[in-house]
């Protein structure tokens, strides 16, 4: 039987993942910068002026990217949480913790850019439409996760408690989204909606996609950087930290 | 390329505040986060020799 | 079957007995519900039209907050004196015992709210039929609150800043129940059918009854490690 070329399980230990992360970071940093450059170029110089919203619609290029990332990161967090609980793997728990602050930041940016888009377009800094409201709740879920983990001193318990919370959260997100949509349509509230976007020119779609990919590469970079910090903080007393931490 | 002048580019057809506010906030966040992480890492590395001395 | 019902009943009875010894706590929580609900008209003005419109929301939110108030009581005292660990180690199913504790919490915190709500609803000039819908929605909804809240109580067991942290974690998860519950009453006020809201609320109740005790027990074991 041939042994696999790469023993993936080797990397599930913090000590071996640490240097691997260091090697990956420059690549993802480069990807971030490249994708962001292309995305910004499309956002400002390729995508045409919108018929209804003028130049103001360009916010969509960061708003949508931030929204997608905040949701995607939460799902990835839930995945690592499931790994943490299923395999009792320390690194999985650390990865979930490493992702949370970036996800929370994107959730916040989504709300902020949403407001900045809504004010000139529809006259209000905030509308209670289903998507914005769900985004707000997602932000609260992130904050809850971070608060819970920082309140628990024992890192193993913090990992597992956070894992349970994020899994409960990820299952609830569709339920919450559905209920908020239900609530919104029944109340015939906003005749304005963040989901009513300008009719998409091809270039606009490309711009959103590339910016989203840029944010995705950025998130990975941040997660790798942060997990390295977490590994150091937790494994402080281990021999290999003393020998290798300064890399 | 359809900006007639740099001023036009900054004005964004009247929406300058909102567009640049949005892109600016994102840029700010995506700059501060790595900086904070760098500070966090330095704090840890600074503690390692201190811990070593303790043992 | 008795492997389920006997420990379950014992767990419920034990918690009810303990609660009976601290009646003041329960009455305080109930009064909190009354006061919070009565604060709102003082905040927005006495216009009956407006009050009737916001009554479902405020009554439901009052119920949420009052339920959260006593949530820590589910596990904290038993954790403090070591009884919880005994339960975890006992030959009886920990999940069943936990289910009993959640039920007892609902009986002690939820049921009084269900009974008090129609009285408070009168202050908002809700019709008899709307009061009935309100009571029914809370009857279906308060178990959901106890069940979801128990997960939060287990996760924050013995943690710094427990009570407030618990609220921060649990309130977003309460939102569907709030929307369907208060929505049912609002639908009735508008003369529309409450079927949709009620069935969704019932679905929530079934889902949380099925998964709640299991997730809570899992979280408790982690807290007890």
SS in 3 state form for chain A?
CCCCCCCHHHHHCHHHHHHHHHHHHHHHHHHHHHHHHHHHHHHHHHCCCECCCECHHHHHHHHHHHHHHHHHHHHHHHHHHHHHHHHCCHHHHHHHHHHHHHHHHHHHHHHHHHHHHHHHHHCCCCCCCHHHHHHHHHHHHHHHHHHHHHHCCCHHHHHHHHHHHHHHHHHHHHHHHHHHHHHHHHCCCCCCCCCCCCCCCHHHHHHHHHHHHHHHHHHHHHHHHHHHHHHHHHCCCCHHHHHHCCC
**What is the least distance, in Å, from the CA of A31 to any CA of chain B?**
14
Domain ranges, ordered by start, for chain C: 2-224
Domain contains B45: yes
pLDDT value at position A14? Answer: 87
Domain contains B7: no
CB contact under 8 A, A101 and B22: no
Domain contains B39: yes
Domain contains A29: no
CB contact under 8 A, A62 and B23: yes
Mind listing the pLDDT tens digit for each residue in A67-88? Answer: 999 999 999 999 999 999 999 8
pLDDT value at position C121? Answer: 94
In chain A, the number of structural domains is: 1
Mind listing the pLDDT tens digit for each residue in A83-123? Answer: 999 998 899 999 999 999 999 999 999 999 999 998 888 88
Instruction: Look at residue A190 and tell me whether its pLDDT is greater than 50.
Output: no
Contacts of A37 in chain B (CB under 8 A): none
CB contact under 8 A, C179 and A147: no
Domain range for residue A154?
60-237
C144 touches chain A (CB under 8 A): no
- DSSP secondary structure code for residue B5 in this structure: S
Nearest to residue C174, comparing CAs of A141, A214, A22, A135?
A141
* Run of H or E including B15: none
In chain B, the number of structural domains is: 1
Mind listing the pLDDT tens digit for each residue in C128-167? Answer: 999 999 999 999 999 999 999 999 999 999 998 888 999 9
CB contact under 8 A, A164 and C176: no
B17-37 burial, b at 16+ Cβ within 10 Å, e below that, comes to ebbbbbbebbeebbeebeeeb
- Of C165, C173, C219, which has the smallest distance from its Cβ to A172's Cβ? C173
CB contact under 8 A, A164 and C218: yes
Q: What's the Cα-to-Cα distance from C169 to each of A114, A204, C152, C192, C209, rounded to whole Å?
A: 24, 38, 7, 33, 19
Domain contains A105: yes
Contacts of A168 in chain C (CB under 8 A): 151, 173, 215
Find the Cα–Cα–Cα–Cα dihedral A216, A217, A219, A221, rounded to 10°. Answer: 170
- In chain C, DSSP finds a helix count (H) and a strand count (E) of 10, 0
Burial class (CB in 10 A: 0-12, 13-18, 19+), A116: buried
Domain contains A196: yes
B46 touches chain A (CB under 8 A): no
- pTM of the predicted model, to two decimals? 0.91
Domain contains B23: yes
Domain contains B10: no
Domain contains A73: yes
Domain range for residue B28?
17-54
Cα–Cα distance, A245 to A152 (Å, whole number): 25
pLDDT value at position A191? Answer: 44
C151 touches chain A (CB under 8 A): yes
């Amino acid at each position: 039987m041939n042994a696999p070329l790469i023993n993936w399980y080797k990397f599930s230990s913090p000590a071996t993942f640490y240097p691997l992360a260091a090697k990956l970071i420059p690549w993802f940093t480069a990807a971030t910068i490249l994708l962001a450059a292309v995305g910004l170029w499309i956002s400002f110089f390729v995508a045409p002026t919108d018929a209804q919203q003028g130049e103001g619609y360009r916010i969509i290029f960061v708003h949508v990217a931030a929204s997608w990332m905040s949701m995607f990161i939460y799902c990835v967090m839930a995945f690592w949480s499931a790994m943490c609980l299923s395999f009792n793997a320390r690194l999985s728990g650390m990865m979930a913790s490493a992702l949370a602050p970036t996800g929370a930041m994107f959730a916040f940016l989504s709300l902020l850019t949403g407001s900045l888009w809504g004010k000139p377009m529809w006259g209000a800094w905030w509308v209670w439409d289903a998507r914005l409201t769900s985004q707000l709740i997602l932000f609260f879920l992130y904050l809850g996760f971070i608060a819970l983990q920082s309140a628990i001193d024992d890192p193993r318990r913090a990992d597992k408690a956070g894992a349970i919370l994020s899994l409960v959260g990820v299952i609830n997100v569709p339920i919450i989204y559905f209920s908020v949509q239900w609530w919104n349509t029944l109340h015939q509230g906003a005749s304005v909606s963040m989901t009513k976007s300008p009719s998409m020119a091809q270039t606009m779609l490309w711009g959103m996609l590339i910016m989203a990919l840029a944010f995705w590469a950025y998130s990975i970079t941040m997660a790798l950087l942060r997990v390295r910090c977490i590994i150091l903080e937790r494994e402080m007393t281990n021999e290999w930290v003393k020998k290798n931490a300064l890399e | 390329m359809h900006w007639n002048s740099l001023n036009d580019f900054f004005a964004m057809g009247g929406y300058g505040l909102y567009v640049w506010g949005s892109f600016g906030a994102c840029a700010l966040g995506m700059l501060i986060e790595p900086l904070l992480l760098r500070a966090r890492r330095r704090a840890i590395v600074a503690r390692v020799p201190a811990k070593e001395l303790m043992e | 079957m008795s492997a389920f019902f006997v420990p379950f009943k014992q767990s419920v009875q034990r918690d009810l007995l303990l609660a009976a010894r601290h009646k003041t706590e329960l009455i305080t929580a109930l009064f909190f519900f009354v006061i919070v609900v009565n604060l709102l008209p003082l905040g927005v003005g006495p216009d009956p039209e407006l009050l009737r419109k916001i009554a479902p929301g405020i009554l439901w939110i009052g119920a949420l907050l009052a339920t959260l108030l006593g949530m820590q009581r589910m596990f904290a005292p038993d954790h403090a004196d070591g009884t919880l660990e005994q339960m975890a180690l006992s030959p009886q199913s920990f999940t069943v015992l936990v289910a009993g504790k959640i039920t007892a919490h609902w009986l002690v915190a939820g049921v009084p709210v269900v009974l008090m709500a129609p009285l408070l609803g009168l202050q908002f000039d809700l019709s008899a039929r709307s009061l009935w819908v309100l009571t029914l929605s809370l009857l279906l909804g308060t178990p959901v609150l106890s069940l979801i809240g128990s997960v939060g109580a287990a996760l924050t067991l013995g943690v710094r800043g427990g009570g407030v942290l618990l609220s921060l974690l649990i309130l977003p998860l309460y939102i569907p129940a709030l929307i369907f519950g208060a929505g049912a009453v609002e639908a009735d006020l508008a003369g529309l059918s409450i079927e949709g809201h009620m069935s969704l609320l019932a679905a929530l109740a079934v889902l949380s009854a099925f998964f709640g005790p299991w997730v809570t027990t899992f979280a408790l074991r982690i807290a007890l490690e």
